Structure 1
């Protein structure tokens, strides 16, 4: 869509003249605006600010010429719509979003139904009964982001070092991970939102404020009414499979470091490309897995006193 056509469409939407199909285009585009995530520099920010001010001035001048009461509810609503349309169009123009439309998929379950979803990056979501999530058919090259609307779901996220995975939750909460497994409960009828970590590490934010960082066997609970949160240690979490299908020893080390929140040092770099094919469970201790993998490759390992740092050697 050209810049001129985009502007005309937004003007029709703001004036209430858009058809149902045109309204869907604008609303779907605006709902996916965050997906672009392109950084905006100082020059672009200045252009956005200037466009916003011009639109506001034009709106006020137009209302004044018609001698309409500016305290009117309808004028305030119109001014708000002008502001939204101005920001939306400016960011759309600068990020070239019109060429990168994101196809969103809504998945839900009925009472008594469970469903497994495999995302474009290989991550898995298991929906409990009466749950609902919205996710893109294909993630962009910079971020992986979905929205959890209702219910309970278990997430097993594919590890990617340079592309975080984010889950937007009710009450403006957001869970950010690189690759891990965790459970979320977010029912509309329940005052609490809960996140329990099975493997790895997650960060939980409310807008720009970091509320906590969780590791294995920790549960975060947020009260939507009071705004207070607590962090608990739990004894049992849902176990997940740890699959290595022809993975190099270096890849095995990276996966285990993130899964167990530990550090593994490889003293002999020539061993980094040794291949491993095996399946383990997150219920196993890292020592058990390292013992089997090192035996396979005729290697040895030891750990520090706290069993947080391991060293693999010949």
Structure 2
């Protein structure tokens, strides 16, 4: 689903070899998966209906591009996370299954097509994410804003969550997205700072923290969200420190999920974190002040995003009522 060569995927979309930039890397053997890391293969009628809407509008979803294990359950319920600005990223993060290379020009019809798809699927809540577009002057911020505007026009009742890149070295880009008034602004840290050199080499941990803090400065009413993967070699105390860093930036919502190695060329899974440990992270996160913490092996940034948005609003109302009562 990611541009030229002579291979073809579902719906006749041309493909290119997915990870030529990782071909030189040595293979990393995978750990045996524990019993709790099992998912059912997709194939329901609801899944097929969602796939057809995505194909007919020539859209890219992070569900497919990132190899999300929750795609069967989400698409069956007509939940999808749209990935705008193409399926080729300008960065080569060691954990990510999205192809790296030189992206195509932006599709000017994409925002309208996303709006049409959201309306056709009857979504109450939609997540819009993207590849990194370091090649664009504003990192794609204006395209995000245009997509938000198109969804508002086509499906005015739908709430919108954006999951953005870091817009590194793109002055004014963040302000463009915030001005478009998404309901939730999400930017993932992905992992603890000690892993950035090997896992997320194109990014800067404290730049991402500052980005999230700046959203609150621009619009204190906007919900902010961030997520990480565990099992990449981080220590428990590093995860707890990361929580404190996010709370310093007044982030409302934290997601924590198990890293799953896409191929042998990607960063290896160092450990499978137990469901009990995930529950512990959730409990600690709530005591640190997050409004909502979603923490489980299969938690992903956009998984159950609509339900979690309702939880987020309810948690804010409850906190405001408590403050008023005190």
Structure richer in strand, relative to its length? 1
TM band (smaller chain): under 0.3
Structure richer in helix, relative to its length? 2
TM value normalised by structure 2: 0.26
TM value normalised by structure 1: 0.26
